[in-house]
Amino acid sequence: MLKTVLVTGGSGLVGSAIRGLSKDDFDENILYNFIYLNSKMCDLKSFDETKKLFELILPNYVIHLAACVGGLYKNLNNPATMYTDNILINTNVLECARLTGVEKLVACLSTCIFPDKVDYPIHESSLHDGPPHPSNESYAYAKRMLEVQCRAYNKQYNCNFICVIPTNVYGPNDNYNLEDSHVIPALIHRCYLAKQNGLDFIVRGTGKPLRQFIYSMDLAKLIIIVLQSTIKESIILSPSNEYTIEQVSKMISSKFGMNSILDNSSSDGQYRKTSDNSKLNTLLNYNKIDFKFTDLEIGLSQTIDYFIEHYELLRK
């Protein structure tokens, strides 16, 4: 049985991780043909381009990773772009998936889109229980609408569109732009440059915010598990452990043989985003899947090694 899987955002962090999976991570009874889409191949903000692509490929499954994403400062400085680009991308992908009869679509959200003021740990059902943190409201509302769109398509057209909600993702082949990237790649790049230039490694903020982090290869494996499962509801993909930004900074600086210094004058963003992974644990247990998350220090070490080795080629 041959199934064609279209991966939007296929050259990004998570798409690259899916590409790196082994055959042991897939159902042995299904032969998969993966097509990894990048922005040069198709502008998903254009309905006509997106429709032509779907009609050409006729995918059985879609893993929808493409998005306009970035860290705290990109969200603060580009709110209109973050909203409009994501709304266009998501609307075009879902409609074209419907028109071409896609059997299942797995779309990727993020725990950063949950309400700012919410009872912890965050549960899938609390996604729309209040406004997001002001620092990323445009991105958050656009991504929330993706979850609404998936449910609407399922109800009206009997589609099988679901959302996975990972916590902060990190790993090789990330975007290491100093201003627009997420916290871990930004810290790695800043620490690297500080060491190269003989400077102090300065970490923006108090270091107190708490975060959960998922290694990109772990997320890739979980997305395939969800794709191959019968689950029909949104699901949070996250380990249980939380770390402060200060703890993460120290792990990174230690790998470089450096010390980290906190800059308390900079914005922290949202203090915590603790998520509930009980639905994930139920799915794994029900399917008798022995899955273990990569330890953060191990994942950071592997990510930093990749960063140093591929520095000239990375997005930065």
Q: What is the pLDDT of residues 44-98, one digit of tens each?
A: 999 999 999 999 999 999 999 999 877 666 777 778 988 999 999 999 999 999 9
Question: Which residues have CB under 8 Å from 113's CB, separation 6+?
Answer: 127, 132, 136, 139, 140, 141, 143, 144
The predicted pLDDT at position 64 comes to 98
Q: What is the pLDDT of residues 8-31, one digit of tens each?
A: 999 999 999 999 998 888 888 889
Structure tokens belonging to residue 105: 């679509």
The predicted pLDDT at position 126 comes to 93
Choosing from 61, 139, 170, 215, the catalytic residue is: 139
Q: What is the pLDDT of residues 111-129, one digit of tens each?
A: 889 998 888 899 999 999 9
Tell me how long the chain is: 316
Q: How far apart are CA 194 and CA 245, in angstroms?
A: 18
Q: Judging by DSSP bridges, how do beta strands 210-211 and 243-244 pair with one another? A: antiparallel
Q: How far apart are CA 212 and CA 247, in angstroms?
A: 12
185 in any annotated domain: no
Instruction: Work out how many domains the chain is built from and give that number.
Output: 1
Q: Which of 73-82, 167-176, 292-301 has the lowest mean pLDDT?
A: 73-82
Three-class DSSP category at 288: coil
Distances (CA, A) of 315 to 8, 145, 186: 18, 28, 11
- Are the beta carbons of 310 and 303 closer than 8 angstroms? no
The predicted pLDDT at position 116 comes to 85
* Residue labelled with tokens 């399922």: 154
The predicted pLDDT at position 15 comes to 96
120 in any annotated domain: yes
- Are the beta carbons of 288 and 225 closer than 8 angstroms? no
110 in any annotated domain: yes
Between residues 210 and 102, the one the model is more confident about: 102
202 in any annotated domain: no
Distances (CA, A) of 92 to 52, 150, 178: 11, 12, 30
Question: Which of 261, 265, 267, 266 has the alpha carbon at shortest distance from 246?
Answer: 261
pLDDT at 3 over 70: yes
139 is catalytic: yes
Between residues 242 and 271, the one the model is more confident about: 242
181 in any annotated domain: no
CATH of the domain at 51: 3.40.50.720
125 in any annotated domain: yes
26 in any annotated domain: yes
Q: How far apart are CA 143 and CA 147, in angstroms?
A: 7
The predicted pLDDT at position 148 comes to 97
CB atoms within 10 A of CB 272: 16
Residue numbers of the domain that contains 136: 2-170+213-240+273-294
161 in any annotated domain: yes
Mean pLDDT of the chain: 92
pLDDT at 155 over 90: yes
- b/e burial code for range 30-47 (CB count within 10 A of at least 16 → b): eebebbbbeeeebebbee
- Are the beta carbons of 86 and 94 closer than 8 angstroms? no
Helices (H), 174-228: 183-197, 216-228
Computed on alpha carbons and rounded to an integer, the radius of gyration of the chain in Å comes to 19
The predicted pLDDT at position 265 comes to 76
The predicted pLDDT at position 72 comes to 66
